[in-house]
Structure 1
Amino acid sequence: MRRSNTQSLSDVLKEYIEKNRIERKLKEVDVVEGWEALLGKTIAHYTRNIYIRNRILYVEISSAVVKNELFLMREEICRRINQNAGVEIVERIVFK
């Protein structure tokens, strides 16, 4: 016997995410996971560690030359990250 108050799994998950306010954190995870897709395999090869804390994206780069190039492009990268996320996830980027 089927209940009349059934919901789709996607609706239940959306409700859970909104109720527990974890949507922003999920978008931050998407930003970190999408770093290679956004900047390419070459840049991702020189990237060691990426994380977001207090709306600041921290990126550890193993090459000084690549770090300098990314430093010059940081405003554009920040804009593209926020555009892909649909909301302002990152205010600034720090390269280590």
Structure 2
Amino acid sequence: MAKRFNEEQSIQDVLKNFISHNKLQGGIDKIEVKEVWFSLMGNGVANYTEEVELRKETLYVKLTSSVLREELMFGREKIIKMINQEIGKEVVKTLVLR
């Protein structure tokens, strides 16, 4: 039978240790950024979004509308700030719209 230790930890601490020990934070960030993109941009932009991919600190977004792409280019810095603020840490430093 397994031996139990009386060292109590919260589930949050256990999950943080598990994530950092297994180096899963990068994958979690990728999924979280994709979810935040669709929630912040709304249905209008989501309909024209084909692909959202985070590589290192650069977010690549593939859009089907060139007009929308040009419109979003003007607010690139604001979009980056909104995404990082929603996640709670600086994950995205550059936004590339294709």
TM-score interval for Structure 1 and Structure 2 normalised by the shorter chain: 0.7 to 0.9
Shift of residue 75, structure 1, vs aligned partner: 0.6
Deviations 1:29-81, CA, capped at 9 Å, x for gaps: 11112211111110010000010112100000000110011111111000111
Name the counterpart of 2:88.
Answer: 86
Name the counterpart of 2:29.
Answer: 27
Q: TM-score, normalised by structure 1?
A: 0.84
| Aligned AA (2:30) | E
Name the counterpart of 2:69.
Answer: 67
**Contact 1:28 1:89 survives alignment (8 Å):** no
Cα RMSD over matched residues?
Answer: 2.0
Unmatched runs of 5 consecutive residues or more in structure 2: none
Query: Aligned residues: percent identity?
Result: 38
SS of the residue corresponding to residue 92 of structure 2 reads coil
Unmatched runs of 5 consecutive residues or more in structure 1: none
Number of residue-to-residue matches in the alignment: 95
Shift of residue 84, structure 1, vs aligned partner: 1.0
Shift of residue 9, structure 1, vs aligned partner: 4.6
Name the counterpart of 1:36.
Answer: 38
SS of the residue corresponding to residue 58 of structure 1 reads strand
Structure 1 runs of 4+ with >4 Å offset: 6-10
Shift of residue 25, structure 1, vs aligned partner: 3.1
**Contact 2:59 2:92 survives alignment (8 Å):** yes
Name the counterpart of 2:53.
Answer: 51
**Contact 1:32 1:51 survives alignment (8 Å):** yes
Q: TM-score, normalised by structure 2?
A: 0.83
